[in-house]
């Protein structure tokens, strides 16, 4: 049982055991795994004051100072990687092997990528004969992170902020707070100066709102649902702070006629079902040629049925959803798909066989859908694939872009050149060609209602920096 009844403010652990508790539920067992204390706006005030004071010195550290700090963070992170894995299994229900190899592995990747980029990043750039453009740390950054990829989303915000000389106040998800607490211990052990990083547990309605609206927070970086992101932006507007958002998605995977259909369908389903479908840029819409729809249905049904579901330490490919709230939402949308007339090829609303306890949902596939169906338009955020058919490539592009979101897209074809030609026509911040995996240098973020700004790699640095033009007098 984990008891995380402290906040981390100005380099010290502050006792908050007298506050109301928020229970953290293990989604595989439905039992209480621990609790956190519920923070308040006053706690945010204290954390922001500490971060603001620390900014005066940390913003003036040298590149080498920050490189040494990031190397120390990496070394400590590697030592605590198994602790992070165990926390992910408990709070998220992530399968243990996936939690270690992918969820925590990507956190280390962000640190290593930032170290390499910081070595050569140009914080001063000449523009013409008289002007120098300086890129300077923006100030106190409020960070609000989600529950679905907690280590990734925490590290891809903290690391560029440290690399560029900013200070932070962080509210992790109250659903998956254990990893954030361990990461705070990692930062403390690594020697992050006091006040540079501050952690306040609590709810979005209280702590998140206080961070978003705080006048001394220069920027808020938020990852979560589009609805919550809109609320954050509205609260931030009064103080005209920078708003950096990574929000929802309904990502299409366009399988062109020249693609290997069996390979494309199989890769799509396995990529979607990892993390129980709780991935913002997962390929949730599979677009296939109409004359191959019957073949696609057969392949998809067979592949989905082969996905193993079970306890995170059982070796199963897919674990539970993160909470009962999430499960009930996903099940309601599955039922909506059935009610609206889509053909259910696999899965459904019944619990997976033999799993009477835990927030499990079957890998589910729908076909014979129309553009106006709820399951086609809404982000489900669960293990649910929607198959759509198209007549021509132009039709496929139209269907792919027929969404309020634009986070990611996937294109599969006989050649990369053919896939790239279609990728150029899709309105999305990231397009993966022919089964390509993640790239730590690829900017992560989206078009339209999927957010503003980018994370990952060198480009992420720019979103944490302010721009100053230093203009010299023209020579006589």
Q: Are residues 205 and 85 located together in one domain of the fold?
A: yes
Token couple for 377:
């338009």
Q: Check: CB of residue 320 under 8 Å from CB of residue 276.
A: yes
Closest by Cα among 329, 352, 309, 381 to 147: 381
**Do 239 and 274 reside in the same domain of the chain?**
no
Indicate if 262 and 241 belong to the same structural domain: no
> What tokens were used for 405?
């979101």
Check if 246 is active-site. Answer: yes
Task: Examine the domain organization and report whether 262 and 191 are in the same domain.
Answer: no
156 as an active site residue: the answer is no
What are φ and ψ of residue 312, in 5° steps?
-60, -20
- Are the C-beta atoms of residues 38 and 21 closer than 8 Å to each other? yes
Whole-angstrom distance, CA of residue 196 vs CA of residue 193: 6
Instruction: Tell whether 476 is covered by a domain.
Output: no
- What does 1-36 look like in DSSP terms, one character per residue? -EEE-EEEETTEEEE-TTSPEEEEEETTTTEEEEEE
Whether the Cβ atoms of residue 176 and residue 149 lie closer than 8 Å to each other:
no
Nearest-angstrom CA–CA distance, 373 and 371? 6
3-state secondary structure of 343: strand
Instruction: Look at the chain and report how many structural domains it folds into.
Output: 2
Q: Which two tokens stand for residue 83?
A: 């602790």
Q: What is the pLDDT of residue 422?
A: 98
Look at the alpha carbons of 81, 83, 87, 89 in this order and tell me if their dihedral is positive or negative: positive
Listed residue (264, 210, 194, 244) closest to 9, CA to CA: 194
The reported pLDDT for the residue numbered 249 is 97
**Token digits of residue 95:** 């399968």
Q: Exposed (0-12), middle (13-18) or buried (19+): which is 118, by Cβ within 10 Å?
A: buried
Residue-level pLDDT, tens digit, the chain, 476 residues = 899 999 999 999 999 999 999 999 999 999 999 999 999 999 999 999 999 999 999 999 999 999 999 999 999 999 999 999 999 999 999 999 999 999 999 999 999 999 999 999 999 999 999 999 999 999 999 999 999 999 999 999 999 999 999 999 999 999 999 999 999 999 999 999 999 999 999 999 999 999 999 999 999 999 999 999 999 999 999 999 999 999 999 999 999 999 999 999 999 999 999 999 999 999 999 999 999 999 999 999 999 999 999 999 999 999 999 999 999 999 999 999 999 999 999 999 999 999 999 999 999 999 999 999 999 999 999 999 999 999 999 999 999 999 999 999 999 999 999 999 999 999 999 999 999 999 999 999 999 999 999 999 999 999 999 999 999 998 65
**Residues 359 and 30 sit within 8 Å (Cβ to Cβ):** yes
Residue 55 lies in a domain: yes
**Which is the catalytic residue, given 90, 174, 267, 280?**
280
Q: Which pLDDT value is given to residue 476?
A: 53
Domain holding 176: CATH number? Answer: 3.40.605.10
Residue tagged 């060198």 (tokens): 458
Kindly state the DSSP code that residue 349 receives in the 8-state scheme: S
User: Is the pTM value of this prediction over 0.75?
Assistant: yes
Residue 423 in domain: yes
Give the rounded distance of the alpha carbon of 475 from its chain centre.
50
The answer to whether residues 375 and 395 belong to one domain is yes
Q: What are phi and psi of 11, to 5 degrees?
A: 80, 10
DSSP state for residue 206 in the 8-state scheme = I
d(CA 150, CA 323) in angstroms, rounded, equals 15
Is 195 within 8 Å of 11 (Cβ atoms)?
yes
HSE-CB for 159 with a 13 A CA cutoff? 33
Query: Does residue 398 fall inside a structural domain?
Result: yes
The Cα 296–Cα 250 span in angstroms is 20
**Per the domain annotation, does 192 fall within a domain?**
yes
Same domain, 457 and 416: no
Q: How far apart are CA 170 and CA 145, in angstroms?
A: 8
Residue 475 forms part of a structural domain: no
In a domain, 197, yes or no: yes
Shared domain for 351 and 459, answered yes or no, is no
The residue range of the domain holding 393 is 251-441
DSSP labels, 173-184:
-SSS-HHHHHHH
Q: Which of 180, 233, 184 is nearest to 209 (CA)?
A: 233
How many CB atoms sit inside 10 A of residue 107's CB?
26
Query: How far apart (Å, rounded) are the C-alpha atoms in residues 389 and 368?
Result: 8
Secondary structure of residue 429 in the 3-state scheme: coil
Please give the C-alpha separations between residue 234 and each of 142, 172, 407, 445, 446, in angstroms, as whole numbers.
Answer: 15, 20, 21, 20, 19
Closest CA to 52 of 127, 138, 132: 138
Instruction: Mark whether 98 and 219 lie in a shared domain.
Output: yes
Q: Choosing from 90, 91, 174, 246, which is the catalytic residue?
A: 246
Residues 107 and 240 in one domain: yes
Strands (E), 94-156: 124-127, 131-137, 140-144
Cβ proximity of 115 and 68 under 8 Å: no
Long-range Cβ pairs for the range 426-429 (8 Å, 24+): 426/252, 426/254, 426/397, 426/400, 426/401, 427/401, 428/251, 429/454
User: Are 379 and 426 found together in one domain?
Assistant: yes
* CATH number of the domain that residue 414 is part of: 3.40.309.10
What secondary structure does DSSP assign to 208-274, as a single string? IHHHHH-TT--EEEEES-HHHHHHHHHHHHTTT-EEEEE----EEEEE-TTS-HHHHHHHHHHHHHG
User: Same domain, yes or no, for 204 and 161?
Assistant: yes
**Do residues 381 and 455 share a domain?**
no
Query: At 392, phi and psi to the nearest 5?
Result: -130, 170
In a domain, 72, yes or no: yes
> What is the H or E stretch that residue 418 is in?
helix 416-423
- Looking at residue 474, its pLDDT comes to 82
> Any bridge partners for residue 229, and if so which?
none
> d(Cα 12, Cα 292) in Å, to the nearest integer?
61
């Amino acid at each position: 049982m984990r008891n995380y009844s402290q906040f981390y403010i100005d380099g010290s652990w502050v006792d908050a055991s007298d506050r109301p508790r928020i229970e953290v539920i293990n989604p595989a067992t439905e039992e209480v795994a621990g609790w956190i204390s519920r923070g308040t706006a006053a706690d945010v005030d204290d954390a922001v004051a500490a971060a603001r004071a620390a900014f005066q010195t940390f913003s003036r550290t040298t590149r080498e100072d920050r490189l040494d700090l990031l190397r120390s963070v990496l070394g400590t992170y590697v030592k605590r990687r198994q602790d992070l894995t165990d926390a992910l299994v408990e709070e998220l229900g992530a399968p243990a092997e996936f939690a270690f190899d992918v969820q925590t592995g990507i956190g280390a990747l962000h640190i290593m990528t930032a170290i390499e980029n910081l070595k050569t990043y140009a914080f001063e750039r000449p523009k013409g004969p008289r002007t120098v453009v300086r890129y300077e740390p923006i100030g106190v950054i409020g960070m609000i992170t989600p529950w679905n990829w907690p280590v990734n989303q925490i590290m891809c915000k903290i690391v560029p902020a440290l690399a560029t000389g900013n200070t932070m106040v962080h509210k992790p998800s109250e659903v998956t707070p254990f990893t954030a607490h361990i990461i705070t211990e990692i930062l403390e052990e690594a020697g992050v100066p006091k006040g540079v990083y501050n952690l306040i547990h609590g709810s979005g309605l209280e702590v998140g709102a206080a961070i978003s609206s705080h006048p001394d927070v220069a920027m808020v970086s938020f990852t979560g649902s589009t609805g919550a992101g809109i609320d954050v932006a509205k609260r931030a507007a009064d103080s005209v702070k920078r708003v950096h958002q990574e929000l929802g998605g309904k990502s299409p995977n366009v399988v062109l006629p020249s693609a290997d259909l069996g390979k494309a369908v199989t890769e799509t389903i396995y990529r979607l079902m990892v993390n129980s479908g709780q991935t913002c840029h997962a390929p949730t819409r599979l677009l296939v040629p109409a004359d191959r729809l019957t073949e696609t249905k057969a392949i998809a049904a067979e592949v989905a049925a082969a996905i193993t579901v079970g306890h995170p330490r059982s070796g199963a490919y897919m674990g539970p959803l993160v909470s009962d709230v999430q499960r009930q939402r996903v099940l309601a949308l599955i039922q909506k798909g059935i009610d609206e007339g889509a053909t259910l090829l696999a899965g459904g609303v019944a619990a997976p066989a033999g799993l009477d306890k835990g927030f499990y949902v079957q890998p589910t596939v729908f076909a014979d859908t129309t553009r106006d169906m709820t399951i086609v338009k809404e982000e489900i955020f669960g293990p649910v694939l929607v198959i759509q058919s198209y007549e021509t490539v132009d039709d496929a592009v139209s269907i792919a872009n027929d969404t309020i979101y634009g986070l990611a897209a996937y294109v599969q074809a006989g050649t990369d050149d053919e896939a790239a030609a279609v990728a150029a026509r899709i309105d999305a911040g990231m397009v993966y060609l022919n089964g390509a995996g993640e790239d730590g240098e690829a900017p992560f973020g989206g078009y339209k209602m999927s957010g503003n700004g980018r994370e990952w790699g060198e480009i992420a640095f720019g979103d944490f920096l302010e721009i100053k033009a230093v203009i010299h007098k023209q020579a006589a």
